[in-house]
Chains A and B, each alone.
Chain A
Amino acid sequence: MSKHEMVDPVPGEQPRLEHPLRALTRTRGVLGAVLATEDGLLLAASLDCEQDAEALAAAAAAMARLSSRALIRVGCGELQMAMLEASKLRFLVRGASGAYLLVVAEPHANVGLIVAEMDAVAVKLGAVAVALLEG
């Protein structure tokens, strides 16, 4: 997928999902953002890297699932945010209005800043979801 190319798996709703993800991708150190269903299906993506959007959507759901399971078993409650640190990239995922928001970041990116931006984008996506429900 080319830089900043948006996918449109929800025909007609792309612009409303697009803007929050684009804003997130402009955060320093962020290479891409993906919104996925709980089943790992792609809803929208804004990518500035060579990663495959559908693979990232599936990864978002997998990350959330295995993180949630571990948290519950060790008695740490429900998932708020999960981060995997790899030598080449960082991945952060959180829930967003019944979907999962995943960010791909550089390995040295400012995690605190990204988490704050993800929180803000999750609120915006929540507003979009309400608007969609209200037709």
Chain B
Amino acid sequence: MSKLDTMGDHREVMERHRGLLRRDPDSLLFAELADQLRRAGKLSEATAICSRGLLRHPDYATGHVVMGEIFRDAGMTEKAEEHWREALRLDPRHPRAHLRLGELHLARGEADQAIAAFEAAVFSSPEFAEAHARLAEVRKRAADQQPEELEPPAPGPAWRTAERPGWLTSGRFEELVAAVASCRSVEAAAMVNSEGLLLAAGTPSAARPQESAVMAAEGAELVMEARDLLTRLGAGRLLGALVWGGEGSLRCLALGNLTLVATLKPGLPVGAAEAEIEEALASLNTDTSYEQARDG
């Protein structure tokens, strides 16, 4: 079966579930539908469906597990953890909640707690293949006494994980770039794809599109070559690059297949620019659809 056929099947299943849920809004099917939407990358719709379902069924543990997975995919791990812990409060033997918490501990470098969570998942559901696999993997690493091989937690919030945050949809590129470009320490900002093509640009004077394109392309090139370099050194995933120059600095943040590039004004502390950029990004990292759905 081709990938397109599979996608068609998934769409059919989702439509069927949507129909069933419309006919019976009290159905527990909301969690299944939200999970399918999440897997399809439709995080806003998944959030709306799941949060509405949880309003009707606040004690449905699986609903909380799915809600946590949606938040995790959106880069909001603290909220994800809250829902997974709520799921375990409601159902202390929920295997998927244990699995997700184990993965979270692993991502934080907490190997012992990860093992305990994976063991709980396996104990709750002895045929849970994914939990068995994760447990075997983390036990082997621990037994080899090579904790440095466990991927350490990425420093800082979601946009410092080298992954594209779930909220960063194509419709928000301009918004993000404008937020960064408006920082006092930033001269210009741009978003670029892995091929060096400009996706969005922001400068104090909009009459410099050519400079933005050059800056974006240079940032993308720097990130691409830096990734190769780090791979050869076994240093893990590239999170970003910061280059100080005599007449300004260049900041690049890796966001999955995208790169956020900014030139920083000379003579200002680089730390101040870092803080401003992080605040600008944090101001966008809100899942308003969830809040709206929750508040009715």
Binding site for B on A (CB under 8 A): 51, 55-56, 59, 62-63, 66-67, 69-71, 73-89, 91, 107-108, 112
CB contact under 8 A between A55 and B232, given known A67-B222, A84-B241: yes
Task: Find A74's partner among B218, B225, B233, B241 (CB 8 Å cutoff).
Answer: B218
Instruction: Rank and list the top 10 A-B pairs by shortest CB-CB distance, nearest first.
Output: A77-B246, A77-B247, A76-B245, A87-B236, A88-B236, A76-B248, A86-B235, A71-B245, A77-B245, A85-B239
Q: Beyond the given A66-B225, A85-B242, could you list 16 further A-B residue pairs with CB under 8 A, ordered by the A residue number?
A: A55-B232, A70-B218, A70-B222, A70-B250, A73-B214, A76-B246, A76-B249, A79-B244, A83-B243, A84-B238, A84-B241, A85-B241, A86-B237, A87-B152, A87-B237, A107-B152
Chain B residues with CB under 8 A of A80: 244-246
B242, A71: Cβ atoms under 8 Å? no
B250, A59: Cβ atoms under 8 Å? no
Cβ of B162 < 8 Å from any Cβ of A?
yes
How long is the Cα–Cα vector from A13 to B37 in the complex, in angstroms? 64
Chain A residues with CB under 8 A of B234: 51, 88
Chain A residues with CB under 8 A of B230: 84, 86
- Total A-B residue contacts, Cβ distance less than 8 Å: 116
Chain B proximity of A101: nearest CB distance (Å):
14
User: Which of chain B's residues 126-177 have a Cβ closer than 8 Å to chain A?
Assistant: 148, 151-152, 154-155, 162
How long is the Cα–Cα vector from A11 to B271 in the complex, in angstroms? 41
Cβ of B219 < 8 Å from any Cβ of A?
yes
A75, B232: Cβ atoms under 8 Å? no
Chain A residues with CB under 8 A of B222: 66-67, 70
Chain B proximity of A115: nearest CB distance (Å):
9
Q: Mark B225-265, 1 if CB is under 8 A from A, else 0.
A: 11001101111111111111111111000000000000100
Task: Find B244's partner among A62, A66, A69, A81 (CB 8 Å cutoff).
Answer: A81
Instruction: Name the prevailing secondary structure of the A interface residues.
Output: mixed
B225 and chain A: residue at smallest CB distance: A66
Chain B residues with CB under 8 A of A70: 218-219, 221-222, 243, 250
Chain A residues with CB under 8 A of B154: 87, 107
Task: Find A71's partner among B232, B236, B250 (CB 8 Å cutoff).
Answer: B250
Cβ of B215 < 8 Å from any Cβ of A?
yes
A and B contact pairs by CB, cutoff 8 A, 16 listed: A55-B232, A66-B225, A71-B250, A74-B211, A75-B247, A77-B246, A79-B245, A80-B244, A81-B244, A84-B235, A84-B238, A85-B240, A86-B235, A86-B238, A87-B162, A88-B148
